[in-house]
Structure 1
C-alpha cells in the first residue's frame, strides 16, 4: 500500500467510514449471542446448542445460546428483532414461531419476513400420527375411511389450541375431507398419556416426544408428517403416501437480524454449512428425532413464505386465535 493509500485508509478509519468494512472482515471478533425463543431442554434448544457449539469451532469465536422463552416464542423473537444488525445477535427458531404465530396471535411483536435475514435451515423434526394400540385403524387410509363413515365421531388430542400438533390435525381434516373432534390438553405429555390409556384414540406428536412410546408399543404410529420417511422410524409411512402433498414438518432455522451486512451473512452461511457437515452432528440430531437439512438464504426465505400462506389458511379454518 503506498503512502497516499495508507493516509486515505487511516483517514477513513479515523472518521469511522471504514470501520464497518473492517468489522465485517474480522467477523466474528467477539462472542455471538444465539437467541432461542423456547425453554431449555426442548428440541429447538438442543439443536441450537449443538449448532452453536460447532459454529464456535469452525468460526473461531464463541456462539452462546440465550433462552428467551414465552408467548409461544414471540418474546425471544421480539428481542432478537430489536437487536443491532451486526451479526452478534442471531436467532435459532422453529417454524411454529416463525410461520404459524403471525396467523395465530393478534400481536406477535415482530415481522418474520421484514425483521430477519435468513441464513440457513438447520434441520427438520416430523410430527407423527399415533393411535392407541387397540384402535381399529391400522393405516392412515383406515383412519380416513372410518372418519368418513362416522363424521365427528372420532377425537384427537393435542398439546393445546393453536399448537403445531393441533394444527397438523386440522390440516389432515382439511386435506382428507374428514371431521375429527379436537380435544386440547396442556402439553403433549398429558395428551399422549390419555392416548396410551385409551381415553382418546388419536394424537399428533413431534417424533422426539413420541419415539419412546412407539418403541415400547404403548402407541402405534400410522404416519409421519414429512414428505419423506424419517430415517429414525423408516418403517412408518408418510401421511403424504395416502394424502398426496401432505407436509407438516417442524423446521428449525438460523436467522440474522434484518440489515446485517451481506459479507457477514455470507460468512454465517458458509460456517453453518461447515458445522452441519461435522461427522457427529447427524447422529446427535437423530437422537432428537431430527434430520440435518441445510439451505441457501433464498431457499429458507421461500420456505417461510410458502409456510406462512399454508398455516394462515389452516389457522383460519381451525378458528384458533390467541389475543
Structure 2
C-alpha cells in the first residue's frame, strides 16, 4: 500500500535514513547495514540519498522535519562539526536541532600517494614526504573532496605543523580526488580509510600514515602521522541523528535497536569489510562527543582561515 503496512487498523509509516551524500560511500553502506539490521525491532526502514551543499542539504531536511519520528540522518563530522564554521548562512544548529541517537563509527583518514609516484620519489614514510616537501616547496600538490572537506582541513593542518608548502586542488567529492591521485593529477590525498583501503591492499596506493593519534587495526603496520608530526589528529566519524522533536522514549528505542544491529555478528562482519569498528556512544554520550568535536573544528578552521563563502 504505497510503502505503508497495516497492523490491525493502524498504518505504520516506514522510517527513512537520509544519507546527505551520494550512494556508494561508507556512510551510505553503513546506513543500509543499519536499516537491514534494525527494521525487525522498529519498522520498515529505507535509505534515501540526498547529497548537496557538502552534506548540509540532507541534514537540514531532517533538522526541519515535522514531528513524526520517521526521519533520521546519517550525520557526520562535516555536517555536525565542520560545516557550521565554513558557511556564513548555515541553515541549521548542529546541536539544538537534533537528537543524537548513536555514533556509528570513527575512522581515521589516511595519507596516501600512488605507489608508483611514491617509489619514483623514494618516499615511504611521512618523514620522507616532509623532507621532500622542504627541499622542493610547492612542487607536490594535494587533492581533496572540496574546500572545507576533512581532506582539505587535514592538508592545511599538515602544512602548518610541518612548515611546508603545497598547493591545494579541490574536487567535487572524495571519489574524484582519489581518481586524480591515481591518474597523476595530484600527488597526495588525505582520504577516508574505508574508501582507500582496497586500493592500499591492492598495491595501487602507498599509505604513509593514518590521521588518528595511534595506528589503526585495518593498517597495523602503518604508523600514525602524529608519531612523526606531533599534534596531528584529524578523524572522520558518522552517526545517526533524529530531529530535536523526537520524544525521549523513541530516542531510547531507536538507540537500542541500532546499537544491537551494529554489534550483531552480521553487522560487525559487514563493518569489518570496510575497515570499520562499530562504536558504543549513544544519546547523551554521543551528544557530548558532538559538542566537543564542534569546538575542536571551530579552532582548526579559524586557525587555518578556511572558508567556503
TM range (shorter): 0.7 to 0.9
User: Which residue, 106, 111, 119 being the options, matches 1:129?
Assistant: 111
Q: Distance in 2 between matches of 1:114 and 1:101?
A: 15
**Structure 2 residue aligned with 1:31, among 6, 11, 14?**
14
Consecutive unaligned residues of structure 2, counting only runs of 5 or more, are 1-10
Task: Measure the CA separation in 2 of the matches of 1:209 and 1:313.
Answer: 27
How far the C-alpha of 1:216 sits from its partner, in A, is 2.8
The answer to which of 180-189 and 163-172 deviates more is 180-189
Which of 52, 55, 60 is the equivalent residue of 1:78? 60
Per mean C-alpha deviation after superposition, the further-off stretch among 182-191 and 110-119 is 182-191
The runs of at least 4 consecutive aligned structure 1 residues that moved more than 6 Å come to none
Within 2, Cα distance between the matches of 1:190 and 1:262? 41
1:139 aligns with 2:122: no
2:203 equivalent among 190, 194, 217: 217
Matched, 1:249 2:235: yes
The answer to whether the 8 A contact 2:42-2:257 is kept is no
State the TM-score, normalizing by the size of structure 2.
0.86
Q: Which residue does the alignment assign to 1:111?
A: 93
The whole-number CA distance in structure 2 between the counterparts of 1:308 and 1:290 is 22
Counterpart-to-counterpart distance in 2, 1:40 and 1:228: 30
* Range 200-209 or range 249-258, more displaced: 200-209
Calculate the aligned-residue CA RMSD, in Å: 2.4
Partner of 1:161: 147
Q: Does residue 1:69 correspond to 2:51, yes or no?
A: yes
CA distance in structure 1 between the aligned counterparts of 2:42 and 2:293, rounded to whole angstroms: 34
**Residues 85 and 260, structure 1, Cα contact 8 Å, conserved in 2:** yes
Say whether the 8 Å CA contact 1:126–1:290 is kept in structure 2.
no
Tell me by how many angstroms 1:251 deviates.
Answer: 0.7
Gaps of 5+ in 1: 1-27
1:185 and 1:66, CA in 2 relative to 1: closer, same or farther beyond 3 A?
Answer: closer
Residues 1:233 and 2:219 aligned together: yes
1: CA distance between counterparts of 2:42 and 2:294?
A: 35
Alpha carbons of 1:189 and 1:277: their partners in 2 closer, same or farther (altered >3 Å)? closer
Contact 1:37 1:75 in 2 (8 A): yes
Residue equivalent to 1:195: 181
Q: Secondary structure at the match of 1:54?
A: helix
Instruction: Indicate whether 1:280 and 2:243 are aligned.
Output: no
The 8 Å contact of residues 140 and 166 in structure 2, kept in 1 or not, is answered as yes
Which deviates more, 236-245 or 40-49?
236-245
CA distance in 1, matches of 2:302, 2:59: 23
1:197–1:153 distance in 2 versus 1, CA, 3 Å: same
SS of 2:194's partner is helix
Question: 2:141, 2:178 → 1: CA distance?
Answer: 13
Q: Is the 8 A contact 1:170 1:314 kept in 2?
A: no
Q: Structure 1 residues 184 and 36 mapped into 2: Cα distance closer, same or farther (>3 Å)?
A: closer
- Correspondence for 1:41: 24
Give the TM-score normalised by the residue count of structure 1: 0.82
For residues 198 and 42 of structure 1, do their structure 2 counterparts lie closer, same or farther at Cα, with a shift above 3 Å needed? closer
CA offset at residue 259 of structure 1?
2.9
